[in-house]
Every structure is written in structure tokens, then in C-alpha cells.
Amino acid sequence: MVYKAENGGIFLEWIEVSGGRPLNGVLKVQGSKNAALPILAGSLLHKGRTILHHCPRIQDVDSMVAILRDLGCEVTWEADSLTIDAGNLCSFYVPHQWGEKMRSSVILLGSLLGRLGKANLPYPGGCTIGERPIDIHLAALGEMGVRITSKEHRFEAAAEELTGKRLRLRFPSVGATENVILAAVLAKGRTILENGAREPEIEELLRFLKGKGARIEEKEGVYVIDGVEELSDSEFCLVSDRIVAGTYLFAAAATRGAICLEDAPVRHMTAVLDALRRMGAVIRIGGGTILMDGRKAGMPIPYLKTEPYPGFPTDLQSPLLAALAVAEGESCVEETIFEARFHVVRHLNRMGADIRVDGNRASLKGVGKIHGTYVKAEELRGGAALLVAALAAEGTTLLEEPGYIRRGYEDIFADFRRLGASIRHHQYGG
């Protein structure tokens, strides 16, 4: 059977979900995407080998690996371990195709400047969730002696010598914090970065860099980096992915299921677990295991807003909306990080949800039940939210463009099947 898309074209790839089944079972959480990408960029700072364990096999990591190879690195996989040898790094030019595919390519800026003194990158693409400007990155690096020149859709950064400075970010941008830290590791003198982001991914980057010999101290968003001459070979095990864990928990809540997550990053999930408890979920924690009974997780959340860590993460705002859509009562979610995070709402409303968006706020009237229909993933986390909604919906949902979801989830479709979901993959001509 061939299905017609919203614009009259033919689906090239889609997922067919028969919803209405409570999720039940046990899953192990994959390695963190948001930690892996800056750490892969950081491997360029060392003229030698880096081994990363528990590295997720996802599209964004595959794209970053392809970039590293284009730049002259040798990269090999063995199970979930990735070995990078950056001894022959010979290029500072990142091809346009990779910038279009993933915004995270911009995180190579700091490490290329630190290692080669130059970086030529495309302006970043990736998800359609807002403008996501990089001016905070460029302004901070400019204070360290970096000159920026722009041409069409690319920019080049160069510095005769990176010099440590006292800097203050006007907003605690995760990417800008990572880029400054990466640039400062091999810079001359001391860099003091104030109002830096405090997300767990930053903590992981610091742990990785210290393991290679970097000199970094952090206290409450202030980072002190003393430049060193060189780094050393190292091995590193990535933390589990808090966004993946949260997605699975909201899916279980939306379907009124009960699941157990192993190797969950519990310490980094306080705001997410608090939101689930407000919805009526019963949660028990033991070590790195989360047991959640979501059979009564149908309560609304009158008000919640996304915030920088340790607040509720913007990357889980869309899956939260999907779960609240099938709650009973009125909820309100305010988005404070990305101005266009609500693209998913029109698709949720097609499924019978009652969500109104006014500026950066979404007001929901829980409808208890939604129905399957055709929907289309337009970005990573919104696509995951539509999958959550499809699992909770009555009837069949056809989800087009599932490739967006693979950017951040190792095998989310197989994982949900393990929990009892009915999901079938289709590809036109395949």
C-alpha cells in the first residue's frame, strides 16, 4: 500500500503505530547524545588516541564521525566503543552538507581553534525549532583574540594566538559554554567564564577533558581554565541519556503503563521526575534504576516552564505536551529556551488534542483520549513526541519522516516494541 502525504506526495518512509496499549517492561538507557557530540569535538584537541565507551549509535554521532574523518582523523567502532586518533588532523574545513544536517557541527569551532588556530564552518542547521543564533559563541571567542569573517552561508574563525580572558555570557548557552571551554584548554593563560551553562553535558565534558590532562575548575556556573601545552591519550565512559530516559517515561505515563529503566542518569533527572509525580506517576529509585507506575498518571500540570539546568529541559517539552494532551484537566507549559518549540502542536491537534499556543505558552485541555491519523516529524524532539502520542492514541497513526527521530535515539522503535508497542516500519519501494 502507498500512502499520500499531506502535500499530495508519496511517503518515502513512515512508521505505522497501532496505539492504545500500555507500555510495560524493562529497558537499558543508551549513552548521551548531548554529551557525546562535544566530547567527540574535544578529541581533536589531542594529537593522539581517545576511546569513548557507551557511545550511542545514532545519526548525529554518525554525522560527527564522518566530519572527523573528513578532517583527517581515524575513527573506528567496536560494539558501543569509539576510538578516535586525531594525530593526523589536517583540515579545519567542515563541508556544508554536515552543517545542514546537524547544528552540533558548530561545537567543532572551539576545538579546531584550539588545535589549529583556524576553523571554517557552515552556519549550523539541524532542527526547525527557532533561530538558535551563534552570536553568543562568536562574541565570547572574539574576546579571546578570534577574528570572524562571514561569506554567504559560511564563516571562518582565526586566531594567531588564543589568549585567556575573563568572559561573561549574556545567556548561559550550552553550546557557547562548550566552545569557550574547548578553545581555552590549549590557550595561553587563564580563562574565567562567568554565567556558563551548568547542564550535565557540560559536567561530562569537563570530566573528559580533565581525564586528558586539562586544568579546569567549576563552581556554580563559573569556569576557570588554565591553558596547558598538550593533552594525553585517554578512555572515557559516557553517562546515559537523560532525554531518552525522559521520553520513555513520558511514553509510559501517556499510555498508563509501568516501566523499569536501567542505567538511568537519576541524578540529572530531578525536574523530570518531579513533573511525572505531579501527573500522578508513582516512582521508585534504586541506584541507577527508575521504576515508574504510570497507571494513574492522568493529572494535569497547571503550570510548568522550561529552564536551563537544573530546571525542566526544553528537549522534553514536546514529549511532555503529548503526555498532558491525554491527561484530565487544564495544563500550561511555557517555553523559555527556543521560540519555535511548538511546531508539534498542530500535529497533536490533528490527533484530537486541544492545545492553544499564545506566544511562548501552550495551554492544554486534557481530552483523555486522542485518535490515530497521519502526522509528520519536523524535528527530533517533536518527532519523538508524536511517537509518544501515537502510542497513546486509539487506532492507527502513520508517522512520516521518522529519520528525524533517529538523530537522537539509538533504536526507539525496537525499544518500544520490547515494551509491548505495535510499530511497523515501511519504506516506499523497499
Which H/E stretch holds residue 268? none
The strand pairing partners of 157, in sequence order, are 119, 148
DSSP state letter for 43: G
Which H/E stretch holds residue 11? none
Q: CB of 121 within 8 A of CB of 154?
A: yes
CA 287 to chain centre: 24
Computed from CA positions of residues 193, 336, 250, 415, in that sequence, does the dihedral angle turn out positive or negative? negative
Q: CB of 402 within 8 A of CB of 13?
A: yes
Question: What is the Cα Rg of the chain in Å?
Answer: 22
| Residue 23 φ/ψ region, left for φ over 0, alpha for ψ in the -120 to 50 degree band, beta for the rest | beta
Q: So which residues are the catalytic ones?
A: 127
d(CA 41, CA 365) in angstroms, rounded, equals: 43
Cis peptide before 124 (omega within 30 of 0): no
Cell 510499530 identifies what position? 423
Grid cell at residue 104: 552540533
Among the listed residues 85, 165, 170, 157, the one whose alpha carbon sits nearest the alpha carbon of residue 118: 157
How many other CB atoms are found less than 10 A from the CB of residue 344? 29
d(CA 346, CA 196) in angstroms, rounded, equals: 34
φ and ψ of 274, to 5 deg: -60, -40
Grid cell at residue 134: 551563534
Q: CB of 223 within 8 A of CB of 196?
A: yes
3-state secondary structure of 376: strand
